Amino acid sequence: MSIIKMFQSKFKNRQASYMMVTILAMLESCSGEGAANIDDVVTLFRKFYKTRIENDKLPEKNDRDMANVDSMSLQQIKSLVLRNPVHHLNGLIIYDSNQGLLRFKKEIANQLNGSTKRELRMVAYQNLYGYYKSLDTYQITTKDLADLPIGYAVSAKDISLLSKQNQMKGIHPIQNDSFKAVIILCTIGGEQHPNEWLDHEKTLLKYYLESRTGAEGKKVYNENLSTNRSISNSLQDGYPLYVFVREQKGELFHYEGKFLYKQLVTEDDGDMYFELESEKGEEISNGSIPDVSKEEILKALEEFDLTKRNTPDWIDWDKKKRQKYAILFKNKIYPPKYIVKMATGINVGLFSGGEQTNSYLTKRGFEIIALNNELPGDVKDILGHIYKYIKSKGFNYELSFIQNFLLSLKTKPFLILAGISGTGKTKMVELFAEAVGATTLNGRYNLIPVRPDWNDSTDLLGYSNLQGEFVPGKLTQIIFAAQSNSKYPYFICLDEMNLARVEYYFSEFLSIMESRKSINGVITSAPITVNGLKDIITFPENLYVIGTVNMDETTHPFSRKVLDRANTLEFSEIDLSNFPEQSVEKQKVMLIENDILRSEFLTLKDCYAGNEDFIKEKVKILGEINEILMPSGLSIGYRIRDEFSIYLFYNKRWSLLSEDKAIDYQIMQKILPRIHGSSMGVEDILKELEQFLSSKYPMSKRKIEFMLRRFSEDGFTSFWL
């Protein structure tokens, strides 16, 4: 049985309020080990009843001792606590008379963390509500609001009595001669208004405006409605927003604290919501986070791994735009504020910038790293910058080509740039990297010229010399650098990569690339075997490899193993009259972090849920192409299907290329490079593809026309010039 159910089974047999009040007092004053000084508990116990009297409510039933709290000494109250609630809670709490401590039993204390403490507090207040509702007409007054404890339970009817408004409403402005405020009743994930927390610490609330249903069943919003305006005007007029939340309809609402109006947001579908931010979180009387040991924080990290990390709410938590920092511990990352909350039982939403939480953790020996979560809207700005930067260097590429380049890198960190010599392939890689802050000076852009005599991977990865010392290759050095600086992207340009057979010197690396998987939010791979190297190296999530190729008599053709693993971008259309513009404004380098390029989806299943219709529609196009390819043994595998779909999904999410143009690029880059030969079957395939592609995909159609002409003239054809 869970500890919450254990306490609930005790509370339901209540004859007075004492058990619930004792537990609330213990939760407020206990240490990380689950022990509270009996005198502190008694003081808080008495305060509860005196506060009820001050707020014009009955402290207890007339025949109960605490009904006369003003006439009782602290010693009398202590005796009451020990003989009544402590006795009735036997099995869950114990009194250590030698040390003067009330303790949660060990098996209970071991399960107490921020989450269970919060839940236990709410259960206690629910039972207090059930007990007191027969004693007082008003369960909440304006006096209560002055110092209302977090977790306090109310019903919609209680708030309606206070505000004198319909209890079906969610927004309740209250104003009299001496008091002005707004009470907000929020149902998380409600049917009409799917309100939600925007962060795991529950300090940012997405709360939909009051609306009416229009003629076509669509919600109609009026931000000038008096109730809606009472929220948006609260900040400038200086009155508080008291927020009460429940997780589902039919439950009581629990007090979450005072909130501040931040902004009004209109979603793409026209729905409108307020973004509200917690003013203080839970009250912290001394203005700081309660002191706990490093061991308590380690316990919270372990608890997070066991109970939170792989749950839907916490998968990819670090990618959310409001997550700015993480704890890095044993190659895993953890949310700092939530871990402190788990360890202390205190909501640290007060410290929204994260600095106090971070300082708290670093003083206890934990490493804090900064996260960079680009908003999707920033992608177009970044692409615009890259386009302008490259143009300012005297090179002209279409914006769509730059967009395709980024989409291809994000889909898979391996590209091939193909074309005749002198078309700017190598320069394109260098300038793209430079535009996002990766240069030869800072070591994040590296040009590796491929040599014709490479017949294995030792030149890239390294070898042991005659003295038995390991001599790292250039690629190994770059991998180590990238792993030690994972915040920023690293680029490798394998120049003229087909001067040697790619399968000879790069096949191990291609296979390792296919083993990539996401573990705890970090993309890693199987280890790369390097003879003589004791350290384990993997493919870093911030490494991008771009190969340039020329197709002439001095180079080697590519196998399908290589082509299936890359997007192949062609440089073939040269406009010699395209001169550099003299008036282009000089552009500065923009320091871009890795998240904008990092692969979010490694296989189709990673992005399939919720996007089924879109992906099925696109895979259907690929299936029709596959039907044409199958007779000649050129069938498409799952790898191409996945990368084709992921590319199109990224493009849809960022609204970059038109859908047809994106598909056109993918046919050019994933399908056509695989087609070559001299058999009549190859010609038949090309003719069928030409008919299938029509005018919707002009780049691919032109390429197929070129390949057919070549077949007609030479009796052989391929994608390559």
Between CA 458 and CA 473 the distance in angstroms is 7
Which is nearest to 83 in space by CA: 19, 130, 158, 148?
19
Question: What is the distance in angstroms between the CA of the first residue and the CA of the last residue of the chain?
Answer: 71
Do residues 128 and 49 make contact, with C-beta atoms less than 8 angstroms apart?
no
Beta carbons within 8 Å of 617's beta carbon, 6+ residues apart:
none
**C-beta of residue 504 within 8 angstroms of C-beta of residue 459:** no
Rounded to whole angstroms, the Cα distance separating 234 from 555 reads 71
C-alpha to C-alpha distances, 510 to 257, 393, 481, 561, 566, nearest whole angstrom:
54, 33, 20, 9, 10
Q: What percent of the chain has pLDDT over 70?
A: 91
Helix axes 114-132, 3-11, angle to 10 degrees: 20
**pLDDT score at 374:** 44
Q: Which amino acid is at 372?
A: N
- pLDDT tens per residue across span 481-534: 998 888 899 999 999 999 999 988 888 888 888 899 887 778 888 888 888 887
Q: Return the half-sphere exposure (C-beta side, CA atoms, 13 A cut-off) of residue 367.
A: 8
pLDDT in tens, 190-232: 777 789 998 877 888 999 998 887 767 778 888 889 999 999 9
* Residue that wins the pLDDT comparison between 506 and 285: 506
Structure-token pair, residue 502? 């790619």
**Greater pLDDT, 212 or 64:** 64
Beta bridge partners of 603: none
More confident residue, 266 or 214: 266
Dump pLDDT digits (tens) for 323-359: 667 888 876 888 888 888 888 876 654 333 455 677 7
Q: How far apart are CA 66 and CA 68, in angstroms?
A: 5
Helices (H) and strands (E) in the chain, counts: 27, 27
Kindly report, residue by residue over 297-333, the tens digit of the pLDDT: 999 999 999 988 888 778 777 766 556 678 888 768 8
Q: How far, CA to CA in Å, does 720 sit from each of 278, 420, 555, 557, 680?
A: 60, 9, 12, 9, 19
Nearest to 111 by CA among 97, 125, 92: 92
Given this model, what pLDDT does residue 433 score? Answer: 95
Q: Considering only 95-99, 258-262, 364-368, 456-460, which range has the smallest mean pLDDT? A: 364-368
Cβ atoms of 475 and 461 within 8 Å: the answer is: yes
CA neighbor of 598 nearest in space, from 539, 655, 679: 539
Give the mean pLDDT of 433-445.
90
Q: What distance lies between CA 657 and its chain's CA centroid?
A: 25
Q: Give the Cβ contact number of residue 184 at 10 Å.
A: 24
* pLDDT the model gives residue 348: 59
Q: Give residue 512's identity as a one-letter amino acid code.
A: I
The token pair at 253 is: 């609402």
Residue 374 tokens read as: 């680009």
- Label the pairing between strands 367-370 and 445-449: unpaired
Radius of gyration of the chain (CA): 33
Domain coordinates of the chain in residue numbers? 1-136, 140-283, 294-370, 378-595, 602-718
Residues 275 and 590: their CA atoms lie apart, in Å, by 31
Q: Contact, 59 vs 43, CB < 8 A?
A: no
Buried b (16+ CB within 10 A) or exposed e, 17-34: bbbbbbbbbbbbbbbbeb
Q: Do domains 140-283 and 378-595 have the same CATH topology?
A: no
- Beta strand segments in 638-719, E: 676-677, 717-718
CB 664 within 8 A of CB 715: no
Window from 410-414, 431-435, 517-521 with minimum mean pLDDT? 517-521
What is the DSSP-derived secondary structure letter of residue 65? G
| Spatial distance between the Cα atoms of 638 and 511, rounded to a whole number of angstroms | 15
Check residue 370 and give its pLDDT: 58
pLDDT score of 576: 55
**Residue 694, number of CB atoms within 10 A of its CB:** 9
The span from the CA of 624 to the CA of 361, in Å, is 56
pLDDT of residue 284: 38
Distance CA 656, CA 207 (A): 31
Say whether 452 sits in a helix, a strand or coil.
Answer: coil
How many CB atoms lie under 10 A from the CB of residue 623?
12
Q: What is the pLDDT of residue 554?
A: 64
CA distances from 152 to 89, 129, 519 (A): 22, 9, 39
Structural class in CATH, domain 140-283: mainly beta
Q: Kindly report which listed range (89-103, 106-120, 469-483) carries the lowest average pLDDT score.
A: 106-120
Rounded CA separation 48/678 (Å): 90
Residues 6+ apart with CB under 8 A from 360: 289, 340
* pLDDT of residue 46 exceeding 90: yes
291 burial level (CB within 10 Å; 0-12, 13-18, 19+): exposed
Q: Which of 433, 508, 442 is nearest to 481 (CA)?
A: 442
Average pLDDT, integer, range 615-625? 93
Q: What's the CA gap between 289 and 304, in Å, rounded?
A: 19
Taking the C-alpha atoms of residue 256 and residue 261, their distance in angstroms, rounded to an integer, is: 15
CATH 3.30.200.20 applies to domain 378-595: no
Is the pLDDT confidence value at 385 over 80?
Answer: yes
pLDDT in the model for residue 355: 54
How high does pLDDT run on average in the chain? 86
Residue 592's pLDDT is: 86
Residues 6+ apart with CB under 8 A from 377: none
Give the per-residue pLDDT at 641.
94
- At residue 628, φ and ψ (nearest 5 deg) are -75, -35
- Among 79-93, 350-364, 451-465, 644-658, where is mean pLDDT lowest? 350-364
Looking at residue 648, its pLDDT comes to: 95
Phi, psi (5° rounding) for residue 66? -70, -5
Q: Which two tokens mark 118?
A: 């919060």
260 bridge partner residues: 277
Nearest Cα neighbor of 672 from 642, 712, 644 is 644
pLDDT at position 340? 86
Asked if pLDDT for residue 658 goes beyond 80, the answer is yes
